[in-house]
Chain A
Amino acid sequence: MLEPLIPNNVVCHAVEAMVFASIACSILGVVISRMNLSSIGFTMSHAAFAGASIGMFLGTSAQMAAIAFSVGVAALIGPISDKAKMAADATLGVLFALCMAIAIFLISYMQYLGKGLSASALLFGDVISLYREEIYALAAVSLLTIIFVLLFYKEICAIMFNMKIAQASGMRVNVVYYILLFIIAISVALCLNIVGGLLIFVWLVTPASIASQFCFDVKSMFILAPLVALFVSAFGVWAGFEFTLPIAPLVALLLTGTFGLAVLLSTKRKITTRRH
Chain B
Amino acid sequence: MSIIELEGIYTAYEGDDKPIIKDLTLRIDRGEYVVIGGPNSAGKTTLLESINGLVKITHGRATVCGLDVGRKGHEVRKKVGYVVQNFYFDPFTPFTTEQVVMMGRYGRLGLLKRPSEADYRAAERAIRLVGIEDLAQKTIGTLSGGQQQKVMIAHNLAKEPEVLLLDEPFSNLDFSAREYLQGILLGLVKGGTPIVTVSHAFDGLPDIRIHLVVMNDGRITKDIECSSRSVEDIVRESSFKRAM
Contacts and interface: CB of A to CB of B under 8 A. Distances in A.
Interface of A: 34, 83, 85, 151-152, 154-155, 157-158, 161-162, 164-172, 175-176, 212, 215-218, 221, 268
A169 B104 contact: yes
Interface in B76-132: 76-79, 82, 84, 87, 89, 92-96, 99-100, 103-104, 106-109, 111-112, 114-115
B147 interface: no
A170 B107 contact: yes
B52 interface: yes
A168 B111 contact: no
Contacts of B15: 85
Contacts of B82: 168
Given A154-B115, A158-B103, A169-B77, 11 more contacts: A154-B103, A157-B95, A161-B100, A168-B54, A169-B103, A170-B76, A170-B78, A170-B108, A171-B107, A175-B111, A216-B139
Given A161-B95, A217-B95, A169 B112 contact: no
B112 A152 contact: yes
B233 to A, nearest CB: 33
Contacts of A161: 93, 95, 100, 103
Nearest to A30: B94
Contacts of B174: none
Given A161-B100, A161-B103, A165-B87, A154 B75 contact: no
Contacts of B152: 165
B78 A157 contact: no
B220 to A, nearest CB: 23
B100 to A, nearest CB: 7
A85 B82 CA distance: 22
B155 interface: yes
Contacts of A166: 103, 106-107
Contacts of A169: 77-78, 103-104, 106-107, 155, 159
A272 to B, nearest CB: 13
A83 to B, nearest CB: 8
A155 B106 contact: yes
A154 B95 contact: no
B92 A165 contact: no
B14 interface: yes
Leading 9 A-B pairs by shortest Cβ distance: A170-B107, A170-B78, A170-B77, A169-B107, A168-B82, A171-B107, A218-B94, A158-B103, A217-B94
Contacts of A216: 94, 139
B155 A268 contact: no
B108 to A, nearest CB: 7
B186 to A, nearest CB: 23
